[in-house]
Structure 1
Amino acid sequence: MPAGNSKPPDRPGRRRRAPLVAVALAVMAGIVLDRGASDRALEWPGCGQWWLLSAVLLAAWLWLRSSGRHLTGSVVVLVAAASLAGGWHHWHWNLFSYDDLGRMATLEPYPCCIQAVANAAPERVAAPPESPYRAIPQGEKSQLLITVTRVRNGEHWQPAAGQCELIVDGHLLGVNAGDRVQVFGQFRAPSPARNPGQFDYALHLRADRQLAYVRSQSPDCVTLLQRGSPWNPARWVDNLRSSWQSRLWSALGPQRAPTAAALLLGARNSMPREAVDAFRVTGALHVLVVSGLHAGILMSLVFGLLGMGLLPRRQALLVAVAIVIFYAILTGAHPPVVRAAVLTVLACIGLWFDEQPFALNSLAIAALVVLGLNPADLFRTGPQLSFLCVTVLLWFVSVRWRRPLTPLEFLLRSCEPWYVRAMRWAVSRAGLAMLATLAVWIVSLPLLLESYHLVTPIAVLACVPVFLTVAASLVTGFALLVVGWIVPPLEGTLAAANGLCLDALDWLVNSTSHWPHAYSWSPAPAMWWIVGWYALAPVLLAAGGTRFGWRRTVQLAAVWIACGAAGGIVARSQPQQLEVTFLDVGHGVCAVVTTPEGATLLYDAGSLGSPHYATSTISEYLWSRGSRQIDAVVLSHADVDHFNAVPGLIDRFSIGRVFVSPHMLPPPNDTTNHSAPAELQRLLVSHSIPIEQVELGDRLTLDSVTVADVLYPDRLGSFGGDNSNSLVLVVESAGQRVMLPGDLESPGIDYVMDEPPADCDVLLAPHHGSRRSDPPGFAAWSTPEVVIVSGGPGTVDRNVQQSYQQLGAEVLFTAERGAISAKIDSAGFTISTYLP
């Protein structure tokens, strides 16, 4: 045999090496070290120091290599890779242009006029459905990424830089990638986390090097100044993406097109939130993120067509590589699809050279590419889950789950009818798919709990039908976009077929989301336990197939789970003090009362903005404390900004009972009333949550040492409306009192102050600190030491602040300090704020 065609035979027991795994781990370590230094505001190491260190280490490696010290040289190379990655992350995370628009942004919206270049065409954002719980209706929006070039300062233009997101109310048309536009709007810095457990939107945008965003009230506020160059490749891709989205809307209609656009093009923002939530709670949200599943099905179609002999083998591989790279760019080049594209390209390279690339090496290369594009993706849940799931699937494929057939069994099965063999094959493949999904689900569950607080066992049971319907939707969708464009007479037929597949997928997801115990919401384990789980998981998976055995592996995993459960019990032990936390929900109120014996009561739960925002804010705070249930909810009055989070909380927590005043809810037998209070009452009744009316003189016993007295209203109330009849509650423990008056104002507040003074230590300012709540009079009547004003930036009234301060009270605004907590025991009380 000629030497050029010979390959060394694989020896039994030969181990394949994956050196790039060590390089990828070193790169991740460097990124983590720099993030830690950045979070602690350390001046060293900076970008220059990191890269200088990497240059010195690479020079040392060259000397060590020439000296034959390969092991030491390998260690030095890994440290150099970590230093290089640390410098890259430092540049990406910390270094911005001196004239970046974000440097001028504050949390207060500020009017601006800017000129910018559009990075892509606007993406449609679906309007939320009409709801009685939404005080301010919202319509459809458009959003796009822009690169700022100039900002107007008075009558003069000055250079500016930076990328930011432009959000426009309405449907913005006629803008494509590369177009230069002029924008009138308001720009502001994204809000950081303002409550414990809350998602940090500022860090999320900073990871994409965005320090601000611009909001315009109408498409008329955006003027096209100059078309982009027709030779810009980004414009070609953008035009194709926009064209395909338009074809989906025209062929499928507004009901099906958003799901099709999300599946095929990754345009998930066009889907209504309720539809996305159905995918989320059934564990199928990943199908709306273009990833390996989509790339795999696309490659199957491509190879199927090219396998018909249309092209020689190597030319077919080049076409496949070009298609998968183009598809990744077309769908936004997000980390999951980049990872899938890299793995596909490496597989094609292996086929070119008749070699099978080592899977872990390929995965390491994909990680290096993703982190090279954006090192901050290391800290994002999506990329973490993407690589974690693929790693588990690679391990699953490497394990032999069935024993080989004996010759007799093979002979007997070969004699079976074809339909029996087909059925056996289908059941076997379905079982393996469910087993693989179960493995992925178990390993990824702690990360899912940490980020989404969701447990979705239905994902394991529904994985096979979901995969089949998604695959059918993708195949017919790609056919609609490509074949329907080439052969227009087939577009109607392909659209009908794709519509049937999408309807089947929507039906499957929506029906399974209503199954009993299909999903549940839960607090996350402690961070130390999650880190330990993912440090232990590779050891357990590797040991399962060795002499250590699966039984011992399962026992060790059970021990670690028991440690986490014990740690959770200790963490949730009785606080031995009363804690009242006033969450920052914008213009709204939510005071979370945690008694010394661990009971949880909410006084109001709502916001003037999105009900979803209020629900998420309250839920994330409760989960951060390990809470699974709410013992009681007290609703002050019938304004939606005080209760519109309750419907969402019903789905996420077990609620013991709801207390209202006699003036809060309409008669229960009035079926013609569709106001928010009436709909809330029906919802509570449908979930068998008791509703109790309380009035002046009633006392709620929260635990053996904590009570709550109702000071107002009585059954007659006042004639001033909902605010005037707000339920006033005073929580008392260890001799300390916290007063919660809702939106109390005249004439109701006058009735209250006609009673003998009620001294309190901590006061929630009535009606978000409004002047109509008689701050001087109420301060003199209640004599608080600390006053908390719950509301948005517009509620910061310095005159009201002075009214309370003149009587010796400290005044704190949630709009400025985020969540504010009062911890009370027999020694007194202490106040802490989430933001400094």
Structure 2
Amino acid sequence: MKSIKRPIFISFLAFVFGEFIAETNLYSGIRIGIIITSIVFIVGYTIITKQQVSFLVVIFLFLVMGLVITKSEQATRDEIYSIEDGNVKVSGIVAKITETKMGYGIYLRKSKFDAGKNENIIVYAEDVSKIKIGNVIEVRGDFEQFENTRNQGNFDSRKYYESLGIYGTLSANKIVVIDKRVNIFKENIRQLKSFIEKRLDDICNKNKWNLEILKNKDSMYEAILLGDKNNLDTEIKDLYAFSGIAHVLAISGLHISIIGIFIYNSLRRKFKFFVSAFFSIIVVFLFGFLSGMAVATIRAMVMFALRLIGDAIGRNYDGLTSMSLAGILLLINNPFIIYNSGFQMSFAAIFSIIIVWKKIEYVFQFKEKIRNLDKNKENDNVISKKDRRINKLKKAKYKCESSLMFSAVVSIFMSPIVAYNYYSLPTYGFLLNLIIIPLMNIVVISGIVGIMLSLITTTLGVVGIMPGALVLEFYEKLCDLMADVPLSNITVGKPEVWLIVCIYILFLIGVCWLEKRRKQFEREEKVLRKTVPLGGITMIEKLNIERNRRVKELQLYSVFLLQIVLFQVVIYGYYPVKNNIVNSRKLNISMLDVGQGDGIFLRMPNNTTMLIDGGSTTVKNVAKNRIVPTIQSRGHGTIDYVVVTHCDEDHVNGINELLNSSIKKLKIKNIILPDIYLKDEKYMSVVNSAENNKINVLYITKGNSLKIGNVKFTCLSPGTEYINDDRNDYSTVLRLEYHQFSMVFTGDISGEIEEKILEDKLVVNNIRACVALKVAHHGSKYSTTDRWLEKIKPTYSFISVGKNNMYGHPTQETLDRLEQVTSKIFRTDYSGEVDIISDGKEINIIENIKNTDK
């Protein structure tokens, strides 16, 4: 019987599969069927491959473990979600205290609600001076659960915090310490972290020279060394992410390796292996606690410790096994961590390095080629100076090829995960990483040295940290430069999970095939060499062997290049194919939930895109947080037309955000504004910003029309002759027609303007029944009059409105009037994003959130 190879890796996969069975929304009978099918497959595989029975037991055990642990956590989650938002009393153990822009966040472990529920939550408080980690506190305040994502593609705060094992927040009104016991270790770590942050602030912002290059570098070092991004400049964070180097701002395996190896090598100069290894592991674990124990940090810590332990006990280190062990430990603690983007990218990156790159490196023989040149170096006294120079150039060439290939392989393998989480890919990220990663040693070590020297004097701290600050400044300039290069970041959309699984399987099959072909080539070469006569290899035979090797290497390169091209074509081409071919006859209208405001995204059957308004008075950075991710997740990086109905903040501040952003995640081709008399400061600001960005500015007035394929837009209002000082009444009113489907977009017009439209002879022929109506002014009682509704008779009415808004929108009067004409109402405060899909005949309406209370 064969012994199990890499049983921990197999156990990890089994656990993940068990979690998948628990998480899939299937009937229990289907789940049992999947489990039975899996068992039959495993038993069959065990018999065919003659594996030990323990192989079967291990897989089944971890599959069941994954299923049971996940179901248990689901039950706990559902129990906490049954608690209604409102004023509650909670007691729990203080696990962590962090400083936020609004005060402090207290992470409570084993929180006990007065309703009897138990779970981890975050308490927000203004003062934590009397609270220590380890204290048991009792809190009275307003409890609020994390919301599900309101729009497709938006950040899902509920899913994210589930992955961290946190299920709600509580805004504290009163906090009482009921048990003053302190976790001395964690509290001292917190105090040390605060002390380091103060030293960094003194070095970077309070040095006597007031050096500009050090300004705000403290927040970058807090992210790099302490894992704290709360004070990190948003533009820097976005710039790094856009360029594909955001990983340098997160504690990862790179940081652990730099610190761990630096400490280990330093200790090895004076101490034996065991002492050096022991203290290196201790330092790495202390660094992990100091930096917040992020997913990537824990994974890297486990792998680093296992490597040194393996060396100490004389066991061969296996990267895949240590990675799998770290994964199992994390999943047992919280199975929902698998949804964490940090978990996904950390494990995908390390898998690409220890498995995929190892195979690719073997296929193209980079190490072997360099090793052969090093052997030749031993005979330097025999070979000529010219040959020595040639060998040096060859070695440099092989190292460059190896580095470039390594960066490309990791970036390509990561691209589906990056696309799934961020919807766009940095085209030149793998080239930037070739420059940036080697320099991270300087950044990390100079940061640590600077902090230590600052204990003597701030001036020495400045000297110590300056090399790292210069490197960080270089990073920023490099990212700025690359951001201006065409196609530096391409929107690809959010690929489906099944697509990601399929392309990974096919990619790994391709890599394994290349490895198999390399082994076959080596066997053929050995056979060829065995046929050489006793007299040795002649020059012609040597040339034939070399020519044969080059031809076969060219074949491997060609197949690998083709594989990469196909891999990238699938990722980059999925949404263009879906949008241009699969959905080529469908009109998509998405009323986004932007809070109290308007934002409507349209995709025409010919894949032309339009955004009608984009603003909010209740959602901060509405473009970045709501509009951009929704549009990008569907594979669109360009908006062909942006229609600004009027320039109130709740309709235009998101558009201004897009226009004035230094990083253009969405390209705008045309902006359409109403051709009106009142061109005030806000109106001209939009015009000037558009012109500065070389965006075509178009003006529209009543009677004008715009035809995009089979979709026609007709402007019903305003006219150039109308004079009023109310921006709402200047709103552009559009009627959309696509075969038998029609919809009217009304901006924020009042009932007075509705009456004027009804009486206007120029547009009277377009005032007729419609399938859908975007209700004016968020459902204000001063709009959507009886006469207006009687004329357009909408089958469906859509209201863009903020949840629990201060204006009381939509008013009951408006809802009553809509019900009188039997119009079915959809509201973004209830449904989140609402999608209207029509082929010109039939209509399908999809609500992002199913709300049974509406």
TM-score normalised by the chain length of structure 1: 0.83
Query: Match for 1:529: what amino acid?
Result: L
Distance 1:682 1:701, change over 3 A: same
How many pairs are equivalent?
769
CA deviation profile, 1:623-656 (whole Å, cap 9, x unmatched): 4444343221211100122133335656233433
* Alignment correspondent of 1:401: 366
Kept in 1: contact 2:98–2:105 (CA 8 A): yes
* Alignment correspondent of 1:11: none
Alpha-carbon distance between aligned partners in 2 of 1:428 and 1:262, rounded to the nearest angstrom? 35
Q: Offset at 1:280? A: 0.2
Alpha-carbon distance between aligned partners in 2 of 1:463 and 1:828, rounded to the nearest angstrom? 50
Query: Aligned to 2:327, which of 350, 367, 388?
Result: 367
Alpha-carbon distance between aligned partners in 2 of 1:420 and 1:186, rounded to the nearest angstrom? 73
Q: Offset at 1:212? A: 1.9
Alpha-carbon distance between aligned partners in 2 of 1:487 and 1:305, rounded to the nearest angstrom? 25
Kept in 1: contact 2:598–2:615 (CA 8 A): yes
Q: Offset at 1:476? A: 1.3
Alpha-carbon distance between aligned partners in 2 of 1:177 and 1:796, rounded to the nearest angstrom? 46
Query: Match for 2:717: what amino acid?
Result: Y
Query: Aligned to 1:701, which of 694, 704, 707?
Result: 707
Q: Offset at 1:536? A: 1.9
* Alignment correspondent of 1:22: 10
* Alignment correspondent of 1:812: 826
Query: Aligned to 1:752, which of 757, 766, 772?
Result: 757
SS in 1 for 2:73: helix
| Alignment pair present for 1:198 and 2:158 | no
| Alignment pair present for 1:284 and 2:245 | yes
| Alignment pair present for 1:766 and 2:780 | no
Q: Quick check: 247-256 or 275-284, which moved more?
A: 247-256
Query: Match for 1:662: what amino acid?
Result: D
* Alignment correspondent of 2:546: none
* Alignment correspondent of 2:164: 208
| Alignment pair present for 1:72 and 2:90 | no
SS in 2 for 1:811: strand
Kept in 2: contact 1:148–1:160 (CA 8 A): no
Kept in 2: contact 1:189–1:213 (CA 8 A): yes
Query: Match for 1:357: what amino acid?
Result: Y
Kept in 1: contact 2:713–2:736 (CA 8 A): yes
| Alignment pair present for 1:464 and 2:434 | yes
Distance 1:486 1:373, change over 3 A: farther
* Alignment correspondent of 1:118: 94
Kept in 2: contact 1:121–1:242 (CA 8 A): no
Q: Offset at 1:194? A: 2.8
* Alignment correspondent of 1:822: 836
Query: Aligned to 2:812, which of 798, 823, 826?
Result: 798
CA deviation profile, 1:203-226 (whole Å, cap 9, x unmatched): 22223333322346xxxx565646
Alpha-carbon distance between aligned partners in 1 of 2:466 and 2:384, rounded to the nearest angstrom? 41
Query: Match for 1:571: what amino acid?
Result: K
Stretches of structure 2 lacking an aligned partner (at least 5 in a row): 206-214, 519-555
Distance 1:484 1:304, change over 3 A: farther
CA deviation profile, 1:428-483 (whole Å, cap 9, x unmatched): 65553332111101111122112112221322222233224422121011223345
Kept in 2: contact 1:470–1:505 (CA 8 A): no
* Alignment correspondent of 2:339: 379
Kept in 2: contact 1:718–1:748 (CA 8 A): no
Distance 1:415 1:666, change over 3 A: farther
* Alignment correspondent of 1:145: 107
Alpha-carbon distance between aligned partners in 1 of 2:3 and 2:514, rounded to the nearest angstrom? 18
Q: Quick check: 361-370 or 753-762, which moved more?
A: 753-762
* Alignment correspondent of 1:270: 231
CA deviation profile, 1:109-162 (whole Å, cap 9, x unmatched): x3556555432122334xxxxxxxxxxxxxx554342347566xxxxx776532
Query: Aligned to 2:20, which of 32, 53, 64?
Result: 32
Query: Match for 2:609: what amino acid?
Result: T
Alpha-carbon distance between aligned partners in 2 of 1:194 and 1:42, rounded to the nearest angstrom? 29
Alpha-carbon distance between aligned partners in 1 of 2:103 and 2:649, rounded to the nearest angstrom? 24
CA deviation profile, 1:566-585 (whole Å, cap 9, x unmatched): 76555222542433221222
Query: Aligned to 1:187, which of 119, 123, 143?
Result: 143
| Alignment pair present for 1:644 and 2:644 | no
Alpha-carbon distance between aligned partners in 2 of 1:658 and 1:509, rounded to the nearest angstrom? 29
SS in 1 for 2:190: helix
Distance 1:829 1:462, change over 3 A: closer
Kept in 1: contact 2:678–2:725 (CA 8 A): no
Alpha-carbon distance between aligned partners in 1 of 2:23 and 2:506, rounded to the nearest angstrom? 24
Alpha-carbon distance between aligned partners in 2 of 1:483 and 1:228, rounded to the nearest angstrom? 36
Distance 1:41 1:258, change over 3 A: farther
Query: Match for 1:78: what amino acid?
Result: I
Kept in 2: contact 1:241–1:265 (CA 8 A): yes
Kept in 2: contact 1:611–1:644 (CA 8 A): no
Distance 1:426 1:501, change over 3 A: farther
| Alignment pair present for 1:256 and 2:217 | yes
SS in 2 for 1:104: coil
Identity score, percent: 17
Alpha-carbon distance between aligned partners in 2 of 1:613 and 1:249, rounded to the nearest angstrom? 31
SS in 2 for 1:709: strand
SS in 1 for 2:251: coil
Matches within 5 A, 1:546-625: 546-547=516-517, 549-556=556-563, 558=565, 568=575, 570-572=577-579, 573=581, 574-610=583-619, 612-625=621-634
Distance 1:828 1:158, change over 3 A: closer
Alpha-carbon distance between aligned partners in 1 of 2:508 and 2:284, rounded to the nearest angstrom? 30
* Alignment correspondent of 2:673: 660
Q: Quick check: 282-291 or 642-651, which moved more?
A: 642-651
Q: Quick check: 385-394 or 239-248, which moved more?
A: 239-248
Alpha-carbon distance between aligned partners in 1 of 2:63 and 2:112, rounded to the nearest angstrom? 37
Kept in 2: contact 1:176–1:238 (CA 8 A): no
| Alignment pair present for 1:177 and 2:136 | no
Alpha-carbon distance between aligned partners in 2 of 1:171 and 1:148, rounded to the nearest angstrom? 22
TM-score normalised by the chain length of structure 2: 0.81
* Alignment correspondent of 2:123: 166
* Alignment correspondent of 1:135: none
Stretches of structure 1 lacking an aligned partner (at least 5 in a row): 1-13, 126-139, 152-156, 668-672
Q: Offset at 1:817? A: 1.5
CA deviation profile, 1:757-811 (whole Å, cap 9, x unmatched): 5432211111111123254454334322211111111334334212210222122
* Alignment correspondent of 1:131: none
What is the RMSD computed on CA atoms of the aligned residues? 3.7
Kept in 2: contact 1:113–1:183 (CA 8 A): yes
Query: Aligned to 1:296, which of 242, 257, 264?
Result: 257
Alpha-carbon distance between aligned partners in 2 of 1:552 and 1:204, rounded to the nearest angstrom? 39
Alpha-carbon distance between aligned partners in 2 of 1:521 and 1:648, rounded to the nearest angstrom? 19
Query: Match for 1:87: what amino acid?
Result: V
Matches within 5 A, 1:342-357: 342-357=302-317
Matches within 5 A, 1:461-500: 461-482=431-452, 484-485=454-455, 490-500=460-470
Alpha-carbon distance between aligned partners in 2 of 1:665 and 1:111, rounded to the nearest angstrom? 48
Query: Aligned to 1:630, which of 635, 639, 656?
Result: 639
Q: Offset at 1:715? A: 1.0
